[in-house]
Chain A
Amino acid sequence: MAGGPDPVQTFLEEAADLLLELEGALLSLEEAPDERALLDTAFRALHTIKGSGSMFGFEAAAAFTHHLENAFDRVRKGQIAPTSALIGLALEAKDHIRTLIEAPAQADTALGDRLLARVEQIVGGGGPSAGAPPPAAAAPVRDDVSVTWRFRFRLAPDAMVMGTNPLLLLEEIRTLGSGEIVALGDMVPPLEEMDPNRCYLAWDVVLTTTQPKSAIEDVFIFCSDGMELTIEQVASPTERLGDILNRRGDVAPEVLENTAARQPRLGQMLVSEGALSEDRLRSALVEQQHVRAEADTTKVVGPAANTASIRVAAERLDDLMDQVGELVIAQARLRQIIAASDDLQIKAIAEEIERLANGLRDTTMGIRMLPIGSLFSRFRRLVRDLSRDLGKDVLLTTSGEETELDKTVIERLNDPLVHIVRNSLDHGLEPATERLEHGKGPQGHLHLSASHAGTQVRISIRDDGRGLNRERIRAKAEEQGLIAAGAKLADNELFQLIFHPGFSTAREVTSVSGRGVGMDVVRRTIDSLRGTIDVASTDGQGTEITLSLPLTLAIIDGLLVRVGRGRYVLPLSAVEECVELSREDDLRHAGRNFLNIRGELVPFLRLREVFAASTPPDLYQKVVVISTGEKRVGLVVDQVLGDHQTVIKSLSKLHADAENFSGATILGDGSVALILDIAHLVACGQAQEQQRSAS
């Protein structure tokens, strides 16, 4: 199962959270109607439910939520007050959204319409101006609702003589849906009276199908003469056997009551009473089972699927990780003591514990880490549907799917990415005609990528659309009083304004975006993950939004080196090669610090000098060549110790000034090793090179 968690299941879990959040906000809002933050929370929850909902095909829920969102938009704008009547109604509507999401088949569309009508009543006229209805809103009719039918048919006695093959009929019934067919042989005469050309059998069928009743009738269209056929819909999945028999008219209600009074095993007793044939009992039992099974499978969409995965609070995983860290350390100490022992039994146990501890460590680390591809893949559907709705042809490409990120981070990145992608599609990418006018290909391009960059994971969303409109952002910001008129702003500062709550330069609100709430979600989420957002945009060329997230919880492959007495970890992905520092290069102390690697000059830094190591240098020092893209720098170390699975721990604020390090990790023996900040060291090396060439 390489696909990761089922995205629909993830959405269901998230939606459940959002609905809880919505409910909480609504209830608090009832007590404090002036609390702006509560209103924003409720609105954000609605907005996200709508967005993610349509992304995962919950069109009815998204359409319904859209109307509610419109109402709350008017509340936000102060056009209507959040009266308790409105809040009560919103709570009812919230429950309806839950039904629409968790059990769409059971949703009562009439109830939905009534709720919307009442919303309309409270909100008053002018509704259409608040937003265009989404395309799916017009007809929330679901054509895939399954209905269970029960029917019994008995062919005309001469049907087989007339050329009807009952087996083919049964086959055809099976193609309509899932069901059970039971033959009733109670009319079969004794052998000596039987005419092999006559059909004595009848069939009871229980069929769950999305097809209308007429489809069943059509099966018998060519043999309906002289046949008996009764079709009815099965209502309740918990129908009791007695009710089923009663409804079929197989047993009179009085007989049932008499028998039921004597309990148990209703069916058995009916048979022994002679009131019911074995076949008919079996048929009824099969129906009961089928309907129950069918009810169970519909429930799987809802909470029943929870057995496959459980959600665990992140702190618990942190605790687990800490404890595993302690275990590894204790185990390393055990190994040292065991090395001095001669007791083979104890040695065997120690090895066993070592194996278990390593396995536990790997599993624990693995629990949290997921490739980001699982997140990217959720966007195919969104981009496909959105581009269709907007009438734009958009190509989505992704790269760096294998970049691993903490699971909780991935989950929390979903909402911001949804908002950014929607914005790109709606505002960034132009319609085909406009693209052609600007000399671009008719197909818009959206690229999602992820990569490790030093201590950070960078996730970028790049489109080749029209780019951000600096003038319009500035005008809007001045209008809203966010910046002083005529204030000088760098591009990045100006672009950051789009993340301000309620900021939207869109001229009209569509179902996709334009309310100025989405980008606010982006910034809040990224802030809470201690990340940063960079926006780059070129007029007419496109926009790139880069989310940089700290690698705090990530695991990297590291190269462990020794400098003096200290051990340090280099991200293996940045290491190009390791070479020995030749004596000539080493002795050229006062001169240039350059290495000739296959004809290319590479500046090098002596980490012994950078870290002021006091021990004498090793006789044969090594140079680890690292690079960030095209820039290369050699780092002179005393010894290359080998590779090391590195769990990155962040440094506290007290060490914010130790620029050479991006974090720390705990080695197998329990000691702490620092992780070198590649970007910073490369910059240092390059600066040294420039100084040299300048002098």
Chain B
Amino acid sequence: MNATATGAETASFEALTLCLGGEVFAIDANCVREILDLIPVTDVPGARPFVNGLVNVRGRVVPLADLRLKFAMPATPPTVDTRIVVVEIDLAGEATVVGLLADKVYEVTEIARSSIESTPEIGMKWRPDFIQGIGKRGCEFIVIPNIVRILSSD
């Protein structure tokens, strides 16, 4: 709204907001390819628990990641609201398509960069390097995760 009025290109960015374990997360909308209803998932025995699934996204075999496990949230069973957010990110120099499990997807919204605060050193129950920053929208806090870092971790 008033964030775009400044005219500066980097004043704000578009983000997709979604729900993970009751918290609101925001993912840069530029890397989101599509949002799918939950489709059959194939288990990958022996893979790390947070990426132990594969889905078929338009004829392409795509790994499915459950970020909740990385944030120490319980892996609740899927509901009617569960969605797969398909993102394309750069993993070790290779463009990789990954599906992210989301409890619920809200909307695409503008987040003013000025409202983003760096990750507080203390008072965080999560690994600080998994968080790019904390944005604010109204009185609500939005977590901006560092997806590349999360997926590259063991």
**Is A324's CB within 8 Å of the partner chain B?**
yes
Check B59–A666 contact: CB distance below 8 A.
yes
Contact pattern, A 565-596, Cβ under 8 Å of B = 1, otherwise 0: 11000000000000000000000000000000
**Is B58's CB within 8 Å of the partner chain A?**
yes
Q: How far is the CA of A633 from the CA of B96 in the complex (A)?
A: 35
Q: For residues 79 through 94 of chain B, which have their beta carbon under 8 Å from a beta carbon of chain A?
A: 91-92, 94
**Is B138's CB within 8 Å of the partner chain A?**
no
Contacts of A664 in B (CB 8 A): 42, 54, 61
Contact A566:B43 (CB < 8 A) given known A652-B96, A655-B51: yes
Distance from A298 Cβ to chain B, minimum over Cβ atoms (Å):
46
Give the contacting residue for B44; candidates A324, A328, A565, A674; CB below 8 A. A674
Contacts of A108 in B (CB 8 A): none
**Is A371's CB within 8 Å of the partner chain B?**
no
Q: How far is the CA of A612 from the CA of B47 in the complex (A)?
A: 12
Check A612–B45 contact: CB distance below 8 A.
yes
Distance from B86 Cβ to chain A, minimum over Cβ atoms (Å):
13
Contacts of B91 in A (CB 8 A): 652-654
Check A673–B47 contact: CB distance below 8 A.
no
Contacts of A671 in B (CB 8 A): 40, 42, 56
Check A657–B47 contact: CB distance below 8 A.
yes
Distance from B6 Cβ to chain A, minimum over Cβ atoms (Å):
39
- Nearest to A322 among chain B residues (CB) is B59
Check B42–A673 contact: CB distance below 8 A.
yes
Q: How far is the CA of A145 from the CA of B150 in the complex (A)?
A: 69
Check B56–A666 contact: CB distance below 8 A.
yes
**Is B65's CB within 8 Å of the partner chain A?**
yes
Contact pattern, A 299-331, Cβ under 8 Å of B = 1, otherwise 0: 000000000000000000000011111101100
Check A566–B45 contact: CB distance below 8 A.
yes
Contacts of A661 in B (CB 8 A): 44, 46
Contacts of B15 in A (CB 8 A): none
Check A326–B42 contact: CB distance below 8 A.
no
Contacts of A329 in B (CB 8 A): 56, 59
Q: How far is the CA of A323 from the CA of B57 in the complex (A)?
A: 11
Contact pattern, A 582-614, Cβ under 8 Å of B = 1, otherwise 0: 000000000000000000000000000011100
State how many residues of chain B have any CB contact under 8 Å with chain A: 26
- Nearest to A663 among chain B residues (CB) is B61
**Is A659's CB within 8 Å of the partner chain B?**
yes
Check A672–B55 contact: CB distance below 8 A.
yes
Contact pattern, A 484-504, Cβ under 8 Å of B = 1, otherwise 0: 000000000000000000000
Distance from B39 Cβ to chain A, minimum over Cβ atoms (Å):
8
Check A649–B47 contact: CB distance below 8 A.
no
**Is B63's CB within 8 Å of the partner chain A?**
yes
- Nearest to A661 among chain B residues (CB) is B44
Check B46–A326 contact: CB distance below 8 A.
no
Distance from A363 Cβ to chain B, minimum over Cβ atoms (Å):
16
Check B56–A655 contact: CB distance below 8 A.
no
- Nearest to B97 among chain A residues (CB) is A652
Q: For residues 647 through 695 of chain A, which have their beta carbon under 8 Å from a beta carbon of chain B?
A: 649, 651-655, 657-661, 664-666, 670-674
Q: How far is the CA of A674 from the CA of B62 in the complex (A)?
A: 12
**Is B60's CB within 8 Å of the partner chain A?**
yes
Q: For residues 627 through 657 of chain A, which have their beta carbon under 8 Å from a beta carbon of chain B?
A: 649, 651-655, 657
- Nearest to B93 among chain A residues (CB) is A653
Check B94–A653 contact: CB distance below 8 A.
yes
Check B61–A666 contact: CB distance below 8 A.
yes
Check B60–A649 contact: CB distance below 8 A.
yes
Q: How far is the CA of A649 from the CA of B62 in the complex (A)?
A: 10
Contacts of B63 in A (CB 8 A): 651-652, 654-655
Contacts of A673 in B (CB 8 A): 42
Check A655–B44 contact: CB distance below 8 A.
yes
Check A322–B56 contact: CB distance below 8 A.
no
Check B47–A658 contact: CB distance below 8 A.
yes
Contacts of B45 in A (CB 8 A): 566, 610-612, 658, 660
Give the interface size bracket for A toward B: 20 to 34
Give the contacting residue for B51; candidates A322, A328, A654, A672; CB below 8 A. A654
Check B42–A325 contact: CB distance below 8 A.
no
Distance from A32 Cβ to chain B, minimum over Cβ atoms (Å):
26
Contacts of A612 in B (CB 8 A): 45
Contacts of B65 in A (CB 8 A): 654
- Nearest to A650 among chain B residues (CB) is B61
**Is B144's CB within 8 Å of the partner chain A?**
no
Q: How far is the CA of A321 from the CA of B58 in the complex (A)?
A: 10
Q: How far is the CA of A462 from the CA of B63 in the complex (A)?
A: 40
Contact A649:B61 (CB < 8 A) given known A654-B151, A666-B56, A670-B56: yes
Contacts of A565 in B (CB 8 A): 43
Q: How far is the CA of A659 from the CA of B92 in the complex (A)?
A: 20
Distance from A545 Cβ to chain B, minimum over Cβ atoms (Å):
27
Distance from B69 Cβ to chain A, minimum over Cβ atoms (Å):
13
Contacts of A666 in B (CB 8 A): 56, 59, 61
Q: How far is the CA of A611 from the CA of B42 in the complex (A)?
A: 12
Give the contacting residue for B46; candidates A328, A658, A665; CB below 8 A. A658
Q: For residues 60 through 112 of chain B, which have their beta carbon under 8 Å from a beta carbon of chain A?
A: 60-63, 65, 91-92, 94, 96-98
**Is B125's CB within 8 Å of the partner chain A?**
no
Contacts of B47 in A (CB 8 A): 654-655, 657-658
Contacts of A652 in B (CB 8 A): 62-63, 91, 96-98
Contacts of B55 in A (CB 8 A): 672
Contact pattern, B 29-40, Cβ under 8 Å of A = 1, otherwise 0: 000000000001
Q: How far is the CA of A326 from the CA of B36 in the complex (A)?
A: 14
Check B92–A672 contact: CB distance below 8 A.
no
Q: How far is the CA of A120 from the CA of B132 in the complex (A)?
A: 63
Contact pattern, A 238-276, Cβ under 8 Å of B = 1, otherwise 0: 000000000000000000000000000000000000000
Check A324–B59 contact: CB distance below 8 A.
yes
Contacts of A674 in B (CB 8 A): 42, 44, 54
Distance from B48 Cβ to chain A, minimum over Cβ atoms (Å):
7
Contacts of B43 in A (CB 8 A): 565-566
Q: How far is the CA of A658 from the CA of B45 in the complex (A)?
A: 7
Check A326–B58 contact: CB distance below 8 A.
yes
Q: How far is the CA of A494 from the CA of B127 in the complex (A)?
A: 44
Check A323–B46 contact: CB distance below 8 A.
no
User: Can you show 28 pairs from A to B with CB atoms below 8 A apart?
Assistant: A321-B59, A323-B58, A323-B59, A326-B58, A328-B59, A329-B59, A610-B45, A611-B45, A649-B61, A651-B54, A651-B63, A652-B91, A652-B97, A655-B47, A655-B51, A655-B54, A657-B47, A657-B48, A658-B44, A658-B47, A660-B46, A661-B44, A664-B61, A666-B61, A670-B56, A671-B40, A671-B56, A672-B56
10 more contacts with CB within 8 A, not counting A657-B47, A659-B46, are A321-B59, A322-B59, A324-B59, A325-B56, A328-B59, A649-B60, A654-B47, A661-B44, A673-B42, A674-B44
Interface residues of chain B, those whose CB is within 8 Å of chain A, are 40, 42-48, 51, 54-56, 58-63, 65, 91-92, 94, 96-98, 151
State the 3 A-B residue pairs at the shortest beta-carbon distance, nearest first. Answer: A325-B59, A611-B45, A672-B42
